[in-house]
Amino acid sequence: MSLKKRINLKNSLAFRLTLWYAGIFTVSSCVAFLLFYTLITLFIRDRTDQELLGQVNRFSALLATEGVEAVKSAAVIEAQAAGVKKVFFRFLSLRGQVFSSSNMSYWKDIEIHETGIRKLFLGSGHVFETIAIPDRKEKVRILYAMLSPTVILQVGQTMESYSRLFDAFQGIFITTMSFLIVIAAGFGWFMARRAVSGVEAVTRTAQKISGSTLKERVPVKARGDEIDQLAITFNQMLDRIQTLLTEIKEMSENIAHDLRSPITRIRGVAEVTLTTGKSLAEYEAMAGSTIEECDRLLGMINTMLMISKTEAGVDNLAREEIDLSGLIREACELFEPMAEDKGITLSCNVPNGSSMIGDIRMIQRMLSNLLDNAIKNTSSGGLVTASVSENVNQVVVSIKDTGIGISPKDLPHIFERFYRCDQSRSQTGIGLGLSLARAIARAHGGDITVTSSPNQGSTFTITLPKSLPSQS
Ligand code: ADP
């Protein structure tokens, strides 16, 4: 089943992002519309009020100069000129009784509100109200105003044209917004799909991996975005897992290989002991060889355990003040007989005073492994030199030999567990010495590097900090 089908559309991140995007877009559009609506309503009402006040001012002036009859006929003419369905005028006595008006056939439902007149008496120069006419959609804006101390004018003006304008605006707005919301949702969907497609690629690769192989990698689009970062990190993680698995596989093969020979030998010896007619000395020799093989096996198992423990980190180390100069000299003294036997000169070029904090037994083991290798791989007449130097924070130990050297093909692998170069297969050893030496150096916060040329010799350089890294 494809990934797309498996993720229910409703639950997909792309769908939810699109929904949010379209939702936010709709809400902000509605807010903008409401704001615009309020502003335009206020503006229209204000303009209508200004027009009505203009009428009042003109009629007041006319009343003052030409009298009430002139005002009455001016009102009739004005209403006819503007349109009897647009504006009306009513002249009222102080009791609110109509004594003259323009053509009111269209406006007969409009009443005279006592409250409006009362407010006039209470001192308001004019009173506005907006009323809706029953059975008609339009609204009317009405103004009550004192034309003179005895005449009240009620003037009304329809807001229909404004309502029509507003209705048209509303229609256009809703159509445009609906169209834009559909486009925005489509665009949002496209963007969200684009954004999550990278995550889907990672998931698809992970599914393929869990199903079969570790060789799959997530395609990196080189856009440099977060999804690319995720893909790069995921691929790096896969590289690391693949390397680890390869190492584990190689190690298992090496262990199996290295265990098979001694166990076969032990079995062979045991088989021989079952045959009769052997002398006591022969039985003792066989028992001795079995013990030797067992010791070799135990040594290998113990070294492997020690590597694992050392790789577990600094927490497993003792913290002691180590006189490194003294320790190197002691190691040289220990290996002197071995060097002498092989006709090799062992030179210990170590000034006094180099010291560090660390695990003395571990450092001893590391130096022994390197000196042992140097002497093992150097022919008679050769030279092995141990030296030490230091700077403010570090001590640098160097073990140099003029031996057989290491080929460029082998050089990158010599620190791997159980790796042995072909030319050393005749020598004793199990291929764990350098792995342990490097694990010890790294546990102390340092490292080992090597330079070598075949038939010219090798130099192993150990860099160690003077104090241990802090514990986790
Ligand atoms: P081994 O038990 O075989 O010595 P190591 O891990 O100590 O295992 O070394 C791995 C391989 O590196 C050795 O088998 C050897 O071929 C090579 N090697 C180590 N040190 C030297 C050296 N000083 N000169 C040449 N080859 C070396």
Residue 212's pLDDT is 56
Residue 449's pLDDT is 96
CATH 3.30.450.20 applies to domain 3-165: yes
Pocket test for ligand 1, best of 307, 434, 436, 452 (most atoms within 8 A of CB): 434
Q: How far is the CA of 447 from the centre of ligand 1 (A)?
A: 17
Residue whose Cα lies nearest atom 18 of ligand 1: it is 373
Domain(s) of CATH 3.30.450.20: residues in the chain: 3-165
Q: Which of 151-165, 175-189, 437-451 has the highest mean pLDDT?
A: 437-451
Domain(s) of CATH 3.30.565.10: residues in the chain: 317-465
Q: How far is the CA of 211 from the centre of ligand 1 (A)?
A: 40
Q: How far is the CA of 27 from the centre of ligand 1 (A)?
A: 73
> By the 8 A CB rule, do 399 and 460 touch?
yes
Q: How far is the CA of 389 from the centre of ligand 1 (A)?
A: 24
Q: What is the mean pLDDT of residues 73-91?
A: 90
Q: Which of 66-70, 146-150, 315-319, 372-376 has the highest mean pLDDT?
A: 372-376
Q: What is the mean pLDDT of residues 384-395?
A: 93
pLDDT in tens, 268-282: 888 888 876 778 888
Confidence of residue 6 (pLDDT cuts 50, 70, 90): low
Q: Which of 50-59, 207-216, 240-249 has the highest mean pLDDT?
A: 50-59
- The dihedrals phi and psi of 103, each to the nearest 5 degrees, come to -65, 115
Looking at every residue in the chain, the average pLDDT score rounds to 87
Q: What is the mean pLDDT of residues 211-231?
A: 77
Q: What is the mean pLDDT of residues 426-448?
A: 90
Three-state SS string over the chain comes to CCHHHHCCHHHCHHHHHHHHHHHHHHHHHHHHHHHHHHHHHHHHHHHHHHHHHHHHHHHHHHHHHHCHHHHHHHHHHHHHHHCCCCEEEEEECCCCCEEEECCCHHHCCCCCCHHHHHHHHCCCCEEEEEEECCCCCCEEEEEEEEEECCEEEEEEEECHHHHHHHHHHHHHHHHHHHHHHHHHHHHHHHHHHHHHHHHHHHHHHHHHHHHCCCCCCCCCCCCCCHHHHHHHHHHHHHHHHHHHHHHHHHHHHHHHHHHHHHHHHHHHHHHHHHCCCCCHHHHHHHHHHHHHHHHHHHHHHHHHHHHHHHHCCHHHCCCEEEEHHHHHHHHHHHHHHHHHHHCCEEEEECCCCCEEEECHHHHHHHHHHHHHHHHHCCCCCCEEEEEEEECCCEEEEEEEECCCCCCCCCHHHCCCCCCCCHHHCCCCCCCCHHHHHHHHHHHCCCEEEEEEECCCEEEEEEEEECCCCCCC
Q: For domain 226-311, which CATH number applies: 1.20.1250.20, 3.90.1150.10, 1.20.1300.10, 1.10.287.130?
A: 1.10.287.130
Residue 201 has pLDDT above 70, yes or no: yes
Residue 345 has pLDDT above 90, yes or no: yes
Residues with CB under 6 A from ligand 1: 369, 373-374, 377, 401, 403-406, 414, 419-421, 424, 429-435, 458
Residue 280's pLDDT is 84
Q: How far is the CA of 421 from the centre of ligand 1 (A)?
A: 7
Residue 384's pLDDT is 97
Percent share of the chain, pLDDT over 90: 35
Residue 1's pLDDT is 45
Q: How far is the CA of 419 from the centre of ligand 1 (A)?
A: 8
Pocket test for ligand 1, best of 367, 370, 414 (most atoms within 8 A of CB): 414
Residue 215's pLDDT is 80
Q: In CATH, what is the architecture of 317-465?
A: 2-Layer Sandwich (3.30)
Q: Which of ligand 1's atoms lies nearest the C-alpha of 430?
A: 2
Q: Which of ligand 1's atoms lies nearest the C-alpha of 460?
A: 23
Residue whose Cα lies nearest atom 11 of ligand 1: it is 420
Regarding predicted confidence, which is higher, 338 or 222? 338
Residue 126 has pLDDT above 50, yes or no: yes
Pocket test for ligand 1, best of 257, 368, 373, 404 (most atoms within 8 A of CB): 373
Residue 3 has pLDDT above 70, yes or no: no
Q: How far is the CA of 42 from the centre of ligand 1 (A)?
A: 93
Distance (Å, whole) CA 388 – CA 326: 11
Q: How far is the CA of 318 from the centre of ligand 1 (A)?
A: 27
Residue 7 has pLDDT above 70, yes or no: no
Side-chain-side CA neighbours of 265 within 13 Å: the count stands at 15
Q: How far is CA 93 from CA 90, 117, 157, 171, 471, in A?
A: 10, 10, 21, 44, 101
Q: How far is the CA of 422 from the centre of ligand 1 (A)?
A: 10
Q: Which of 86-100, 245-259, 364-378 has the highest mean pLDDT?
A: 364-378
- For residue 207 the two structure tokens come to 């599914």
Region for residue 102 given its phi and psi (left: phi exceeds 0; alpha: psi -120 to 50; beta: otherwise): beta
Residue whose Cα lies nearest atom 8 of ligand 1: it is 431
CB burial of residue 364 (10 Å; 0-12, 13-18, 19+)? middle
Residue whose Cα lies nearest atom 13 of ligand 1: it is 420
Q: How far is the CA of 290 from the centre of ligand 1 (A)?
A: 26
Domain(s) of CATH 1.10.287.130: residues in the chain: 226-311
Q: Which of 138-152, 294-308, 394-408 has the highest mean pLDDT?
A: 394-408
Residue 372's pLDDT is 96
